[in-house]
Structure 1
Amino acid sequence: MTRATTTIPFSTIKFIDKIPRLSDLAERLTQKLREIRMELNQSEPDRMSAGGAQSRYDLITDVDTIRIKRRAMRYLERLHNSTGTQHLPQRDQALLTPLRGGLPVARIVTEHEADEIAAALHAEMPWMAPATEAVWHGLRASARNGLPGLRFDPLLLVGSPGIGKSFWARRLAHHLEVPTTSIDATGEPAAFSLVGAQRGWGSAAPGKLMLTALRERHAGPIVIIDEVEKSGNVQSTEGSRHTLTDALLPLLERMTAETWECPYYQIRADMSWANWVMTANSRWGLPAPLLSRCIVLDMPDLTGSQLQVFVEEQGAKRSLPRPAIDATLEAIQRRMAAAGHTPSLRTVSRMLDRVVFMAQRPVLQ
């Protein structure tokens, strides 16, 4: 099914189709003043006979011209200021045109719809039940309260690597029919990658949060931040520090997220409909302010039976023949016996990708 949506006024910026040039505006004002004075002269014949006929060009003096230009400049200045993008070069103003008219957010219409989404997600990854349940309650509340979009509390999933935390978040986005954006907190300056860097930094650019809204034309993505506990600090040459937590805190609070300001474009945007799924391998290193704004869930390790359910489910979705699924399960059992532990979901997913490739590869005659 196609998810219902609501269009929200995502940004306060104003789009004006055509802003006149100063010379054109001054000419229009001059012509209007000339017409007014000609009408006055025609309506006062005594004045015309006393002063003689005036040329239409003599009706506008040099003083009038100066005043008209000054008034036109003030009008254009106010017009530019009203757009909210007067500080941006034309190229950046053009890049913001997808925001014209607002952006859609996905909406949950009924609580039954929320039940169906949670059931489908749970069937795929039953070991992620605590996370699925937290989202389920949020979706039901969104429908019950008649919200224009869907919301659930920010999630912080703590568990061993490879149990499918990020995969679960992407599957959630699939079922909700919303875009995603992902950030690896260990492999990039996470704070700048998320929200962007203001002009003046050598790496000045918009962040993935704003870029996703512009690219996908959607105001309610799921933002996935992997290994959030390992994010480092970014320090400017002037000594100021920028941390991922500092960037996240105003976005995790709905009230402040409604008026969030993009550091790069320096415009306000309603990011309150973005939903957050963060992952960590342990609670060690997680700052208290971040923990206080999230539902923190300790996720269990995968068991062999759960991996088998996953392989069966994914094999059926990928239209793998039964012998291929059985061979994959057998290979997993051999790995478990040799290594003494359950392989990660990441490893099993790569095995399934390989099986799909082998099954679809043409056979030479």
Structure 2
Amino acid sequence: MSRFPFVKASFPDPALTPRKIRTHLIDVQQRLRDRRAAIHPPQDDTDRADPAEELRLTERAYRRADARAKRLHDDILRRSGLSHPNRDEREKLSVLRDGVGLVRIASEDRADELAAVLHAEMPWMAPATGHAWQAMRRSVREGWPGFRLPPVILDGPPGIGKTRWARRLGGLIGAASMVIDAMGESASFGVTGCQRGWGSARPGRVLELIMTDLTGNPIVVIDELDKAGSARSNRDQSYGLAEGLLPLLEPATAADWTCPYYRLGFDMSFVGWILLTNSLQPLPEPLLGRCTVLRLQAVDLSDLIGFAEREGRARALSDSSIASITEALAAVAPGAATRPSLRTGLRMLDRAADLEHRPMVI
């Protein structure tokens, strides 16, 4: 895994604290004072003061050393870009001193293999798999330092496995992944972070994931984006999730994105954004223009039956349980008003597993 300079700051020697700088300044002053006393000794006994008093620095000298040490330390932090975070926050950020890793696709052949596995497991998600496949091949062909998934909107009916597909993609390529429920977040704060002055001030969850996993290209899934609300400040300014995502979806601005909490620049250009919707209508045009929009269809009954068979074998269910599930799914009338979804199949598999593993009652 290659290393990638993620934070737009340098990290000075942690030993250069104001106290250490002050100690050094006082030591230098004391040595200079001692040297002057040795070069210009008193001419007679009447000029000689108490030796201890003669060599001791004054209280004013100590105060000046304190002030100069603080100025020097502030200047070090300012030049490093770390003047805004406090000491505890700088300690947390220090994990980024040597950069972060980037998950890479080894070769175009490996990209083909990963895409084939993903398609075999969820063939009805072919448009999404094709998007990821081409991104994997492009990252190898163009020599990128890591895999970069261009932002994509998966628009389709509920219950077809959009979230499951995104998680599986992350698992196959070996990248960290997270799912954020847009309806459960407070505007964009949960994703991008919240600046000081708000009661919920904290870094965004995406940045926290990168700092925890030390991988700069996680797969981030925003679920139900079309149902996200917005918050308003006391100045009647709107903070919506869709608007907060805009600078993170554009490669040029994402490469120098400023965290509102730390007030530091980070290179978020390798984060893979997968936005899930049931309708495109509520989304602003600027967001749609920054993403590839893929419209997905409901799961065909034949695909659902095939999925139940594969998943049943993966869960080590008995042949009779798998047969019962597939027969129940196959019995659905073609023109039925309500069609089973992937969630229906997963519930049936969960129920079968529970029945097979329930304790014997004597």
Normalization by structure 1: what TM-score?
Answer: 0.88
Give the aligned partner of residue 136 of structure 2. 139
- Match 1:312 to one of 309, 313, 317: 309
CA distance in 2, matches of 1:355, 1:83: 59
| From 316, 335, 346, the counterpart of 2:343 | 346
How far apart, CA to CA, are the structure 2 residues paired with 1:173 and 1:244? 23
CA gap 1:53/1:107 in 2 versus in 1, 3 angstroms? farther
Question: Who is 2:2 aligned against?
Answer: 6
Deviation, structure 1 residue 138: 0.8
In the superposition, relative to structure 1, how do residues 241 and 341 fare at CA in structure 2: closer, same or farther (>3 Å)? same
Which is worse superposed, 306-315 or 87-96?
87-96
Asked if 1:321 corresponds to 2:318, the answer is yes
User: 2:171 matched to which residue of 1?
Assistant: 174
Query: Distance between the aligned counterparts of 1:56 and 1:146, measured in 2?
Result: 69
Alpha-carbon distance in structure 1 between the residues aligned to 2:138 and 2:338 = 40
1:229 aligns with 2:216: no
* Aligned partner (choices 257, 260, 263) of residue 263 of structure 1: 260
Letter in 2 for 1:143: V
Q: Which residue of 2 aligns with 1:158?
A: 155
Paired residue for 2:270, among 273, 277, 292? 273
- The one-letter code matched in structure 2 to 1:363 is M
Letter in structure 1 aligned against 2:8: T
Counterpart secondary structure, 1:87: coil
The match for 2:237 is 240
Contact 1:222–1:276 (8 Å) recurs in 2: yes
2:208 matched to 1:195? no
| SS of 2:147 mapped into structure 1 | coil
Q: What letter matches 1:9 in structure 2?
A: P
1:26 maps to which residue? 22
Aligned counterpart in structure 2 of residue 102 of structure 1, from 77, 99, 107: 99
Letter in structure 1 aligned against 2:95: P
Give 1:356's aligned amino acid. Answer: A
Could you tell me which amino acid in structure 2 is paired with residue 32 of structure 1? V
Percent identical pairs in the alignment equals: 38
CA deviations on 1:308-338 (whole Å, 9 max, x unpaired) are 1111221121122211111111222345579
Structure-1 separation of matches of 2:42 and 2:326: 107
Bigger shift: 87-96 or 170-179?
87-96
- Greater mean deviation of Cα atoms: 87-96 or 212-221: 87-96
Secondary structure, in 3 states, of the residue corresponding to 1:72?
helix
What residue in structure 2 maps to residue 292 of structure 1?
Answer: 289
| Residue 79 of structure 1: aligned partner | 76
Residue by residue, what CA displacement relative to the aligned partner does 1:256-295 show, whole Å, maximum 9, x if unpaired? Answer: 1111111222222211111011111122222211111111
Query: Which residue is equivalent to 2:109?
Result: 112
Deviations 1:170-221 (A, max 9, x none): 1111111111121222343341221122121233232221221123332211
* Counterpart AA for 1:76: H
CA RMSD of aligned residues (A): 2.6
Which of 121, 124, 129 aligns to 1:127? It is: 124
Farther-moved stretch of structure 1 (176-185 vs 329-338): 329-338
Unaligned residue ranges in structure 2 (runs of 5+): none
2:330 maps to a residue whose letter is Q
Q: How far apart are residue 136 of structure 1 and its match? A: 0.7
Offset of residue 113 of structure 1: 1.2
Gap runs ≥5 in structure 1: none
Query: Which amino acid is 2:22 matched to?
Result: A
Match of residue 247 from structure 2: 250
* Contact 1:150 1:273 (8 Å CA) reproduced: yes
Could you say which residue in structure 1 is the equivalent of 2:327? 330
Separation in 2, partners of 1:103, 1:335: 50
**What amino acid is the match of 1:127?**
W
Change (3 A) 1:8 1:39: same
Rounded Cα–Cα distance in structure 1 between residues aligned with 2:83 and 2:317: 56
Per-residue deviation, 1:137: 0.8
1:17-64 deviation per Cα after TM superposition (whole angstroms, max 9, x unaligned): 334343x5434323323334544665x5xx547578884763566465
Residues 109 and 146 in structure 1, CA contact (< 8 A), matched pair in contact too: no
Give the match's secondary structure for 2:281.
coil
Number of residue-to-residue matches in the alignment: 357
Write the distance in 2 (CA, Å) between the matches of 1:72 and 1:259: 32
CA contact (8 A) 1:184 1:190 kept: no
Of 325-334 and 111-120, more deviation after overlay is shown by 325-334
Matched residue SS, 2:288 = helix
Residue 65 of structure 1, CA deviation:
4.7
**Change in CA separation of 1:91 and 1:339 when aligned onto 2, cut-off 3 Å:** farther
Distance of 1:203 and 1:71 partners within structure 2? 36
Q: How far apart are 1:249 and its partner, in Å?
A: 0.9
